[in-house]
């Protein structure tokens, strides 16, 4: 069954710990945390101290998505703060192989993310060493964007490239009950959803609705 990873980018930041607890109780499988530096993407979110502060509110895996120009300087801090997955962008200013090695050194699962216009074949050299690929179905940086359908072709192609390797495919951006079935059919293992879940009256119904659409 597909896993659901609510994105805290759309949560109520005034009570983030309670939001993490509520979403965990509502049936989420992972917690997705978007970390933005104002350079790689034109927005700022939060840092390791916030991740550390909300870590006690859930036993679910934390999937920390680093939308940073230079993530190497922050990997250790997020590992210590409680990340389980640390995902960096293929398009960052640093060598992905070095970043993957750094993540693994801290005992965390390593992910690579690609923006909508990035050729999926650029991931091939790194597939033997990663645990997750995050396919962006919107331009990273802001929640509430419309789903870009070309992401589905990337997921299909990626599934073929991965073959029998134990790599999860996650898709992020514009995921809702209308787009979720196509994501699952294409081969996604994890659906990252922010606006749809956190704007719903019932987090549990929102999550269940996404799972029922596969």
- Residues marked active site are found at 34, 172
Could you give the CA distance from residue 147 to residue 154 in angstroms, rounded to a whole number?
Answer: 13
Give the list of residues 6+ apart from residue 163 with CB closer than 8 angstroms, or none: none
Tokens 């029998």 correspond to 164
C-alpha dihedral sign at 121, 123, 128, 132: negative
DSSP string over 13-41: GGGHHHHHHHHHHTT-S-EEEEEEBSSSS
Q: Which residue do the tokens 């659901």 mark?
A: 4
CA distance 189 to 73: 29
Cβ(145)–Cβ(139) under 8 Å?
yes
CA angle 160, 164, 166 (to 5 degrees): 105
Tell me the HSE value of 8 on the side-chain side, using a 13 A CA sphere: 31
């Amino acid at each position: 069954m597909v896993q659901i990873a609510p994105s805290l980018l759309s949560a109520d930041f005034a009570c983030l710990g309670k939001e993490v607890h509520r979403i965990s109780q509502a049936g989420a499988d992972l917690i997705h945390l978007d970390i933005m530096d104002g350079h790689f993407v034109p927005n700022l979110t939060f840092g390791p101290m916030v991740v550390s502060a909300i870590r006690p509110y859930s036993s679910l895996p934390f999937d920390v998505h680093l939308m940073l120009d230079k993530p190497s300087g922050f990997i250790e801090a997020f590992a210590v703060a409680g990340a389980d997955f640390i995902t960096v962008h293929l398009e960052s200013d640093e060598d992905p192989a070095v970043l993957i090695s750094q993540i693994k050194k801290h005992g965390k699962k390593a992910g690579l993310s690609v923006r909508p216009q990035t050729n999926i074949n650029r991931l091939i050299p790194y597939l033997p060493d990663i645990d997750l690929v995050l396919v962006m179905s919107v331009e990273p940086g802001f929640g509430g964007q419309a789903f870009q359908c070309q992401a589905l072709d990337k997921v299909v192609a990626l599934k073929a490239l991965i073959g029998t390797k134990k790599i999860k495919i996650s898709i992020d951006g514009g995921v809702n009950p209308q787009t979720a079935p196509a994501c699952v059919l294409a081969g996604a293992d994890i659906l990252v959803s922010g606006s749809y879940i956190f704007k719903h009256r019932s987090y549990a119904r929102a999550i269940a609705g996404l799972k029922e659409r596969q």
